[in-house]
Amino acid sequence: MNYPVKKLFGVFFALAAIGSACTNSHENEQTLKNYNLEAPEKFFMPESLFEISGITFNRGNSDTVYAVQDEEGRLFRLGWGVKKQRNSKFGKKGDYEDLTIANDRVVILKSNGTLYSFPMSEAIFPEADSVQEWKKILPKAEYEGVYANEQTDSLYVLCKNCPQDDSKKSVTGYAFHLGDSSAVHRTFQINVKEIKALTGKVERGFRPSGLAQNPVTKDWYIISAVNKLLVVTDSNWKVQQAVPLNGNTFVQPEGIAFDTSGNLYISNEGDDFAEGNILKFVKLGK
């Protein structure tokens, strides 16, 4: 190959490298509308919540955080910024993934789709006495996200890994009436192709870890520890944003919640180098 041709190839590869760097930089940008994901307030968890897997608030009041972890059948509660926790036992040891509160009742989701519910009035005691358990109301699969909306009288459960789904194409969710969580009322889907169109790739499929509805915009925010993604959809589940999450900040994002002001909270399980935590992102603008 003569020199001029070599030179042309050198220029071509240099430009390609610059383009690739720009693309990668763009893919790693954290641009979530109304929130700065690089400036959180951090609340480090006590040892008992090292494997925190779900968080929620009662009627959006952020003074008290309610949480579960994926080994103990206990509902934990903490004052924001106070490491001392109290808890109420509701079940045996198991893989508990998420929780929600509505109509003065706690609803807790086990990874196999079983739901547990008991009155909030029992959450202050060492053990809840009036626990209702709903088994086999969802298809056999793996679930990690549950959310309740009192205004629409709906309880939502989202698949993480369901046999009927191809997680690179779509993810199924199930809706119940709050007054009757013993039967599915309707199903809905999240189109993973819409996520791919924004991120360029979803290597291991979309496998949600938790979901919550923004009380201000009514958009859905769905967290995924797999691929470390935060996906925003409108109220009808059409994808609006798909934001890659910085692995240094989001070690293992499992839980998500909002307070009444629209501030965003994301919980992370701990690892060998860090405690479990909850990150608070203050809503920006109106």
CATH number of the domain at 226, please. Answer: 2.120.10.30
What are the CA-CA distances from residue 147 to residues 73, 102, 244 (Å)?
19, 9, 23
User: pLDDT-based confidence at 200, cuts 50/70/90?
Assistant: confident
> Would 216 be classed as within a structural domain?
yes
> Would 246 be classed as within a structural domain?
yes
The residue range of the domain holding 177 is 31-281
For the chain, the C-alpha Rg in angstroms (whole number) is: 21
Between CA 201 and CA 226 the distance in angstroms is 13
- Answering whether pTM is above 0.85, one says yes
> Would 188 be classed as within a structural domain?
yes
> Would 65 be classed as within a structural domain?
yes
**DSSP state letter for 127:** B
Whether residue 97 sits in one domain with residue 58: yes
Q: Using CB atoms within 10 A of its CB, is residue 184 exposed (0-12), middle (13-18) or buried (19+)?
A: middle
> Would 50 be classed as within a structural domain?
yes
- Any idea which of 22-36, 83-97, 135-149 has the lowest mean pLDDT? 22-36
Write out pLDDT tens, residues 95-133. 999 999 999 999 999 999 999 999 999 999 999 999 999
Please check whether residue 277 is in contact with residue 271, taking contact to mean a CB–CB distance below 8 angstroms: no
Q: What is the pLDDT of residue 219?
A: 98
Q: Using CB atoms within 10 A of its CB, is residue 37 exposed (0-12), middle (13-18) or buried (19+)?
A: buried
Whether residue 158 sits in one domain with residue 136: yes
Whether residue 151 sits in one domain with residue 227: yes
Between CA 90 and CA 172 the distance in angstroms is 28
Between CA 155 and CA 178 the distance in angstroms is 6
> Would 70 be classed as within a structural domain?
yes
**Mean pLDDT, all residues of the chain:** 89
> Would 286 be classed as within a structural domain?
no
* Vertex 178 angle, CA 173 and 182, to 5°: 70
